[in-house]
Amino acid sequence: MNQAAIEKAQAHFAELVKEQLERVEQMKQAQDWIDFTKLKPIIIGVCWGDGIGPIISQETQRILSFLLEDEVKSGKVEFRTIDGLTIENRAKHLKAIPDDVLAELKACHVILKAPTTTPEKGDQWPNIESANVAMRRYLDLFANIRPVKVPSEGIDWIFFRENTEGAYVLGSKGTMVTEDLAFDFKVITRQGAERIIRMAFDYAAKNNINKVTVVTKANVVKTTDGLFLDTAARIAKEYPQVQWDGWYIDIMTAKLVDPKRRTQFRVMVLPNLYGDILTDEAAEFQGGVGTAGSANVGKRYAMFEAIHGSAPRMIKEGRGKYADPSSLVRAGAMMLRHIGFAAQAEKLEMALDICGQYEKKLVITGRDDGATAEEFGNYLMETTQDPNIKSRWEASVRK
Ligand code: IPM
Ligand code: MG
């Protein structure tokens, strides 16, 4: 027996347990939701990120500034650029989010975040943690909300992915006990499960949706997923008007492909990694990950991002200006809704459907045979200004 290795692993585990128990204590302290109606200015931080990030985030900011022109003029809304969230700067400081960048983020109320490079084993970058994962944890953005809609096929889903626990929270804290034995850790807490599950049930109840689907693998991953599922059963009792059912991730993944079955799903709530995987699959029905937005919401902060990566290959091949900004623009629309500008959000969402899914007067292909991000941005902005946008959207969806 390698006693030294065992003791080292024990110490490592003890450290993690201590850290997680502290996090539980923090979660127990009730905190109120931020009230955007009372804020002036609402500060929107825009992180440019890596690869195609600067291109699509500038395009998104241009569209949002256009829709919020009056609010920016009146001082209700302020945009702030945060340019230190690049892989070069993060590598220089050997930190997922350098301290000064984190301070800048914390001085904002909401953040629009372009994709950032996540180093992986064997690449040129030091093995720092993903900036998304770190930001979700530092700002306690516990709910990752990802809607997917294909109205013409009856698909109207919204995923509530737990965002601060599961296989992710300790994803960079695994340990090689010996060179032959690797451990990673997965953690679920009662408080962490409760807050995301409650949010999903609240959403269903408020929107008169009579169905919440809880996705786990509790038949095999018994302790952590078991706690998640038990918590769901308990919270569900507070919402007698909402029915719920539990599905395992494997069959759930299959049933999303089944055209008869999939339209019955509406609100899904699930631990972090399952949510990561299932939402990529779901987005594919809507036109791919390039079309889906993602809201990372906590009580104090919120961050809105594309669900795809930074596409360094597009930059290497000189195709950056043909990058599709739709995913980040959709995230921008979710941000508008979150901070209280529902009318602008609705217009932008309809424009995204019309331009990206139905009319397609301009199509983005990622190459020079398609539109540029800027041309597509203009198309979206023009569409939002159409006084008949609603009937145009309805006609598109019915086709
Ligand atoms: C997502 C992404 C991230 C995640 C990556 C980039 C770390 O895939 O937002 O879904 O796994 O959460
Ligand atoms: Mg993902």
Q: Residue 263 domain-assigned? A: no
Which ligand 1 atom sits closest to the C-alpha of 294?
9
Tell me if 151 is assigned to some domain.
Answer: no
Q: What are phi and psi of 156, to 5 degrees?
A: -145, 85
Q: What separation in Å is there between the alpha carbon of 1 and the centre of ligand 1?
A: 38
Q: How far is CA 160 from the centre of its chain?
A: 9
Lowest mean pLDDT among 37-41, 296-300, 357-361, 389-393: 357-361
Other C-beta atoms lying within 10 Å of the C-beta of residue 140: 19
Q: What is the pLDDT of residue 64?
A: 98
Identity at 356, one-letter amino acid code: G
| Separation of CA 362 and ligand 1 centre (Å) | 29
Distance (Å, whole) CA 244 – CA 233:
9
In a domain, 90, yes or no: yes
Is residue 38 situated within a structural domain?
yes
Does the Cβ of 163 fall within 6 Å of ligand 1? no
Which DSSP symbol is given to 189?
A: -
Q: Is the pLDDT score of 290 beyond 80?
A: no
User: What is the structure's pLDDT at 289?
Assistant: 79
The Å distance, Cα 380 to ligand 1 centre, comes to 26
| Centre of ligand 1 from the C-alpha of residue 133, in Å | 7
Residue 117 belongs to domain spanning: 31-141+298-399
| 44 SS3 class | strand
Q: Is 13 helix (H, G, I), strand (E, B) or coil?
A: helix
pTM of the complete model: 0.92
What would the pLDDT profile of 64-117 be if each residue is shown by its tens digit? 999 999 999 999 999 999 999 999 999 999 999 999 999 999 999 999 999 999
276 lines ligand 1 (CB under 6 A): yes
Please work out whether the CB of residue 131 comes within 6 Å of at least one atom of ligand 1.
no
Domain tally for the chain? Answer: 1
CA of 170 to the centre of ligand 1 (A): 14
Q: Between the CA of residue 241 and those of 202, 207, 309, what are the distances in Å?
A: 11, 12, 39
Atom of ligand 1 nearest to the CA of 280: 10
Judging by beta carbons within 10 Å of its beta carbon (0-12, 13-18, 19+), is residue 91 exposed, middle or buried? middle
Mean pLDDT of 368-393: 97
pLDDT at residue 31 greater than cutoff 90: no
Answer yes or no: is the C-beta of 172 below 6 A from any ligand 1 atom: no
What percent of the chain is predicted at pLDDT more than 70?
Answer: 100
What pLDDT score does 308 carry? 87
Give percent of the chain above pLDDT 90: 88
- CA–CA separation, 139 vs 132, rounded Å? 11
Dump pLDDT digits (tens) for 223-237: 999 999 999 999 999
Q: One-letter amino acid identity for 63? A: I
Could you give the CA distance from residue 4 to residue 49 in angstroms, rounded to a whole number?
42
How far apart, in whole angstroms, are the C-alpha atoms of residue 167 and residue 124?
25
Q: Are 49 and 115 in contact (CB under 8 A)?
A: yes
Instruction: Tell whether ligand 1 has an atom less than 6 A from the beta carbon of residue 307.
Output: yes
Residue 170 has pLDDT above 90, yes or no: no
Question: Do the domain assignments include residue 278?
Answer: no
CB of 114 sitting under 6 A from ligand 1:
no
Interior/surface letters 308-324, b for 16+ CB within 10 angstroms, e for the rest: bbbbeebbeeebbbbbb
Report the separation in Å between the CA atom of 122 and the middle of ligand 1, taken as the mean of its atom positions.
19
In a domain, 14, yes or no: no
Atom of ligand 1 lying closest to residue 305 CA: 9
Whether the ω angle into residue 119 lies within 30 degrees of 0, i.e. cis, is no
The residue whose CA has the least distance to atom 12 of ligand 1 is 276
Tokens of 169: 């929270």
**What phi and psi values does residue 211 have, to the nearest 5 degrees?**
-150, 125
**Residue 399 located in a structural domain:** yes
Q: At 151, is the pLDDT very low, low, confident or very high (cuts 50, 70, 90)?
A: confident
CATH, residue 81: 3.40.718.10
The closest of 174, 187, 182 to 127, measured between CA atoms, is 174
> Does position 172 have pLDDT exceeding 90, yes or no?
no
Residue 36 lies in a domain: yes
Indicate the top mutation candidate among 273, 276, 281 to test ligand 1's pocket, ranked by most ligand atoms within 8 A of CB.
276
Residue bearing the bigger pLDDT, 344 or 399: 344
Does 132 sit in the ligand 1 pocket, CB within 6 Å?
yes
pLDDT on residue 121: 81
**d(CA 273, ligand 2 centre) in Å:** 8
